[in-house]
Structure 1
Amino acid sequence: MIAFVFPGQGSQTLNMGKELLEEYPEYKKYLDIASKTIDVDLESIIFGDDEKKLTLTENTQPSLLTISYIMYLYAKEKLNIIPDIVAGHSLGEWTALAAAEVLSFEDAVKLVRLRGKYMSEACPPGIGGMGAVIGLSIDKISEIISQFENINIANHNSPEQIVISGDKKEILEALKLLKEAGAKKVVELNVSGPFHSKLVFPAQEKMEKELKKLKFKKPIYKIIQNYTAQIEENPQKIRENLVKQITGTVRWVETIQKMKDLGVKKVYEVGPGKVLAGLIKRIDKTLKPQSILKV
């Protein structure tokens, strides 16, 4: 069995996808479709020289989804590699849903632009933050952060790497305690908001209203969602999990373990960079993840 995994925010780079689009210019139409859908010139953002503009959440999310979706089409149409299972890391789940035809590409682009906007608006700048904890068990981290009212685990990225999110002052205090408790390394992350925490709950409420306007279809591939780390086929349940994902934990370790349990032998990272491949190697070395651009 083959799995495709789609990256989330943090994998974006200026000029991502440029070589692929130069070799297969027919895929440029998807950049045009995306730009027209949200009335933003994504091409000038992705292939420009203003990195800060690309890293604005409301720009990053549609840009990364579009390039990752183009890479998915390339894999399917040019390489003839078809996945049995798909999953995405946070924002990447939306790309997985577009690939699985649960949502149209246009709807996915429109909604992730709104998702980015709502997440940016949900918590005033400087109030929220995120921190990475290296080399401490999830149980120990959970125990320590339980004393803080406004922190939760945002990403269980690998057995060695866990991200916490919430109130910035509490995050800084928690990181000190986690280091004292034996973490190999703690890092305050340079992010624009406390993603996957209850501080962005207003974004979840707004997205729930937006998602109710759309018809979700049954996926054409098996899809493992972040919120449950389980296969979900029911369109209504997929919608509910997608809403809860905004403030919920990205259960990436369990997602990859689920793939392995289902019989996945090969994993391709479909999107720019190799962040997910690196995480997967730390979760299960036997899966030998590979970028779709290196095939």
Structure 2
Amino acid sequence: MSRIAFIFPGQGAQKCGMGKDFYENTEIGRSVFDRASELLGFSMPELCFEENDRLDITEYTQAAMVTASIAMMEVLKARGVKPDVAAGLSLGEYCALVAAGVMSADDAISTVRQRGILMQEAVPVGEGAMAAILALDASAIEEVTGSMEDVWIANYNCPGQIVISGRKAAVEEACEKLKAAGAKRALLLNVSGPFHSGMLTEAGRKLGQVLENVAVNEPQIPYVANVNASYVRSAGEVKGLLERQVSSSVRWQQSVEAMIADGVDTFIEIGPGKTLAGFMKKINRGVTTLNIETLEDVDKVVNALQAQ
């Protein structure tokens, strides 16, 4: 039998129309979107399915992404596909919490709405920046960022792709230093803030206060936390890790490697885009990666798993 991981993408993967066929053609999908509208006081289908300026604004993006991914996951689970472990990149970790039974879908959607607002408010637009550093060893990047103020490693995505984050001037200076150190490219990203940097420590503290009122349960399956790339096996660890996650490095490559070392051989990416599948090709080509983005994909995944 395959060991299956459900994995969930983070902010940046959002797109207009995500989850629309799940909403229009399944009772389960419709109920997830309608419940999100009820909880948050605005139309989630309108936000996700109609052209608008809000979908790329952090305070809306996060709730939209989590709603769409949960709707897709619930439809997949109703077809009998269950995960052995779960993980999500940054924002996607909240979907992993739902997959693991640690947090209810209601609480995940409500919490990420607050998380998005806190992250948006933390740093005035234009003061922070993020950049993807391509084709340079992590150790070389750690050396440069470690010797500088106001710049941090935000994401260890996969071999050859690491993201840095921090104060705009510091990130730009680090990009020049990293190119001089041998990076193939250093690309500034189109994001609204310096996510996963020390500049968001206060936002993390405020998120901790929000989480005080959120119920967390013991994990029904293990999930891997971004902060330490380790399995979380008890409810007592959850809130502290989520608070730290806002301003800490996302150890995605290490998280995937930990799941593979544990015998996971099939990864199902649930949510818009194929970002994580792209990373997977660089981390380990020996595992199976499947995607759920459309209703049609659910049939493909079910058939692929039956054929294994």
Indicate whether the TM-score tops 0.5.
yes
Quick check: 1:132–1:164 contact (8 Å CA) kept in 2?
Answer: yes
Note the residue ranges of structure 2 that are not aligned, 5 or more in a row: 302-308
Give the structure 1 partner of residue 253 of structure 2.
Answer: 253
In 1: Cα distance, 2:19 partner to 2:27 partner: 11
In 2: Cα distance, 1:58 partner to 1:40 partner: 13
Give the letter for the 2:186 counterpart: V
In 2: Cα distance, 1:26 partner to 1:215 partner: 23
Give CA deviations for 1:153-203 in whole Å, capped at 9, x if unaligned.
000000110000000001011101111111111100110000000111121
Counterparts of residues 1-295 of structure 1 (less than 5 Å): 1-50=3-52, 52-78=53-79, 80-292=80-292, 293=297, 294-295=300-301
In structure 2, relative to structure 1, the CA distance for the partners of 1:53 and 1:231 (3 Å cut) is: same
Give CA deviations for 1:30-86 in whole Å, capped at 9, x if unaligned.
111111111121111111111x310010111011101100111111102x1110000
Give the letter for the 2:26 counterpart: Y
Note the residue ranges of structure 1 that are not aligned, 5 or more in a row: none
Give the letter for the 1:73 counterpart: E
In 2: Cα distance, 1:291 partner to 1:214 partner: 30
For the aligned residues, what is the CA RMSD?
Answer: 1.0
In 2: Cα distance, 1:192 partner to 1:26 partner: 32
Give CA deviations for 1:178-235 in whole Å, capped at 9, x if unaligned.
1111111110011000000011112111101111122210111110110110011111
Quick check: 2:16–2:48 contact (8 Å CA) kept in 1?
Answer: yes
In 1: Cα distance, 2:133 partner to 2:119 partner: 23
Shift of 1:129: 0.5
Quick check: 1:152–1:164 contact (8 Å CA) kept in 2?
Answer: yes
Give the letter for the 1:139 counterpart: S
Quick check: 2:134–2:185 contact (8 Å CA) kept in 1?
Answer: yes
TM-score by length of 2: 0.93
Worse overlay, 35-44 or 266-275: 35-44
In 2: Cα distance, 1:57 partner to 1:191 partner: 9
Give the letter for the 1:18 counterpart: K
Shift of 1:26: 4.0
In 2: Cα distance, 1:172 partner to 1:158 partner: 22
In 2: Cα distance, 1:47 partner to 1:72 partner: 18
Aligned length: 293
Worse overlay, 82-91 or 69-78: 69-78
In 1: Cα distance, 2:272 partner to 2:23 partner: 13
In 2: Cα distance, 1:71 partner to 1:26 partner: 9
Shift of 1:259: 0.6
TM-score by length of 1: 0.97
Shift of 1:25: 4.1
2:163 alignment partner, SS class? strand
In 2: Cα distance, 1:277 partner to 1:86 partner: 15
1:256 alignment partner, SS class? helix
Quick check: 1:3–1:268 contact (8 Å CA) kept in 2?
Answer: yes
Shift of 1:274: 0.5
In 1: Cα distance, 2:74 partner to 2:31 partner: 12
In 2: Cα distance, 1:33 partner to 1:82 partner: 23
Identity among equivalent pairs (%)? 39
Give the letter for the 1:43 counterpart: P
Quick check: 1:281–1:288 contact (8 Å CA) kept in 2?
Answer: no
In 2: Cα distance, 1:24 partner to 1:195 partner: 35
Shift of 1:19: 2.2
In 2: Cα distance, 1:173 partner to 1:265 partner: 40
Shift of 1:98: 1.4
Shift of 1:288: 2.4
Quick check: 2:28–2:75 contact (8 Å CA) kept in 1?
Answer: no
Quick check: 1:46–1:54 contact (8 Å CA) kept in 2?
Answer: yes
Shift of 1:281: 1.2
Quick check: 2:158–2:283 contact (8 Å CA) kept in 1?
Answer: yes
Quick check: 2:22–2:30 contact (8 Å CA) kept in 1?
Answer: no
